[in-house]
């Protein structure tokens, strides 16, 4: 890292930044972890993106075990459909682009799926097939949730008629154990 007079460009080796003001380049390098901090942030954002895609595909099956998990998965499914049908850009893609630029890298020219999924996990010409398969998996998980919910409700109803009680998950535990009678003193 060198110093120079006014108007002379200085390349700061720590930031790969070309600047006429070396103190700006130094500040960019040291602020909040500098370039490495932004690279870690980019990696974190990529991990979140992959986690979202995994949750989108498989999250509906979690609702089979934990029924309240259906609501966030419905939101994820609606958002995934909106991104595909409405050609929206995911906020995580904007965040990744910003963090890459802050790290001194080139910005994104493609979306997350175009860059990391198409051509890597499946060939690009099968994009519509992959989208349809994802939609089928999500719909099957939702249908399975509804079938399971209906069975649980039916078993709870029959259990109530028999005098049983549900456990804390809403599933039938069987008849309640007989109560122990104690002698009352008067």
Q: Could you give the number of structural domains in the chain?
A: 1
What Rg, from alpha-carbon coordinates, does the chain have? 28
Determine the average pLDDT of the residues in 26-38: 62
Domain containing 138 equals 51-165
Residue 106 falls inside a structural domain:
yes
What span, in angstroms and rounded, lies between the C-alpha atoms of 126 and 108?
23
Percentage with pLDDT > 70 across the chain: 69
**Res 119: pLDDT:** 85
Task: Inform me whether the pLDDT recorded for 101 exceeds 60.
Answer: yes
Total Cβ atoms within 10 A of residue 137? 15
- Residue 3, domain member (yes or no): no
Instruction: Please state, in angstroms and rounded to a whole number, the distance separating the CA atoms of residues 25 and 17.
Output: 6
Given a cut of 80, whether residue 115 has pLDDT beyond it is yes
Question: Is 95 a member of any domain?
Answer: yes
Closest by CA to 29, choosing from 42, 41, 16, 19, is 16
In a domain, residue 44? The reply is no
**pTM listed for this prediction:** 0.64
């Amino acid at each position: 890292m060198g110093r120079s007079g006014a108007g002379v460009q200085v390349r700061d080796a720590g930031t790969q930044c070309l600047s006429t003001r070396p103190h700006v380049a130094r500040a960019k390098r040291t602020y909040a972890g500098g370039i490495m901090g932004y690279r870690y942030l980019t990696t974190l954002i990529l991990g979140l993106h992959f986690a979202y895609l995994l949750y989108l595909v498989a999250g509906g099956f979690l609702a089979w075990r934990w029924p309240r998990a259906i609501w966030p998965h419905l939101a994820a499914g609606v958002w995934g459909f909106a991104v595909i049908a409405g050609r929206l850009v995911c906020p995580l893609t904007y965040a990744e682009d910003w963090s890459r630029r802050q790290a001194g890298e080139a910005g994104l020219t493609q979306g997350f799926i175009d860059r990391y999924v198409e051509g890597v996990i499946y060939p690009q010409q099968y994009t519509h097939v992959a989208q349809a398969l994802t939609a089928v998996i999500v719909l099957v998980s939702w249908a399975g949730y509804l079938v399971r919910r209906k069975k649980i409700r039916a078993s709870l109803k029959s259990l109530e008629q028999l005098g049983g009680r549900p456990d804390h998950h809403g599933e039938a535990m069987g008849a309640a154990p007989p109560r122990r009678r104690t002698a009352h003193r008067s």
